Amino acid sequence: MQLSKFTDYALRTLMHLAIAEKHMLTTRQIAEIHDAKYNHLAKVTQWLVREGYVASVRGRSGGLRLAKQPRHINIGYVVRDLESQTELVECLRPDGGSCVLAPSCGLTSALRVAQDAFYTSLSTMTLADLTKNNAPMARLLARLNEE
């Protein structure tokens, strides 16, 4: 399974903000740190704000910060929300897609089980699990924030 770039940047942004704790970062700073296009990352951060994962503070000293505690952000839910528009393969779409084998293909059910297992596995993790006690990541992000 391959996650979209949108999901990848959303997860990176959440991790970055979790490590930054109370220090706010702008979309532009995060885009530069991760070598992402600003417009693309702006769409990501807008989605994160709209879904209530991130708070946006306007003004001169504004920026982005987590809107929830990292332990309350379930990685599986975030990924499922972001990837729900795209199925692993076409035959997993509700309409079966255009695959002529879909009505009787054993691969369809096997892939559905695998996809569900993927989301179930991620659902056991929170943002805190990915970032707690992660001194190397904290040092890396602190250094990147200074550049």
Return the higher-pLDDT residue of 51 and 140: 51
Containing structural domain, residue 50: 1-72+133-147
pLDDT in the model for residue 90: 67
Q: Are 102 and 45 in a shared domain?
A: no
What is the chain's Cα-based Rg? 18
Domains identified in the chain, total number:
2
Q: Are 14 and 56 in a shared domain?
A: yes
Q: Are 5 and 64 in a shared domain?
A: yes
- Averaged pLDDT for residues 91-120: 78
Q: Are 30 and 44 in a shared domain?
A: yes
- Averaged pLDDT for residues 55-65: 89
User: Which CATH number covers residue 22?
Assistant: 1.10.10.10
Taking the CA of residue 57 as centre, how many other CA atoms within 13 Å lie in the half-sphere pointing to its CB? 12
Share of the chain above pLDDT 90, in %: 48
Return the higher-pLDDT residue of 131 and 97: 131
Q: Are 5 and 59 in a shared domain?
A: yes
pLDDT in the model for residue 88: 67
| pTM, rounded to two decimals | 0.84
pLDDT in the model for residue 47: 96
Q: Are 96 and 107 in a shared domain?
A: yes
**Taking 70 as the threshold, does the pLDDT of residue 18 lie above it?**
yes
73-97 pLDDT per residue, tens: 999 999 999 987 776 666 777 666 7
Q: pLDDT confidence of 20, banded at 50, 70, 90?
A: confident
Q: Are 89 and 118 in a shared domain?
A: yes
**How far is the CA of 68 from the CAs of 23, 51, 72, 74, 76, in angstroms?**
14, 11, 6, 11, 16
**Taking 70 as the threshold, does the pLDDT of residue 119 lie above it?**
yes
| Residues 6 or more apart in contact with residue 53 via CB below 8 angstroms | 14, 66, 67, 68, 73, 78
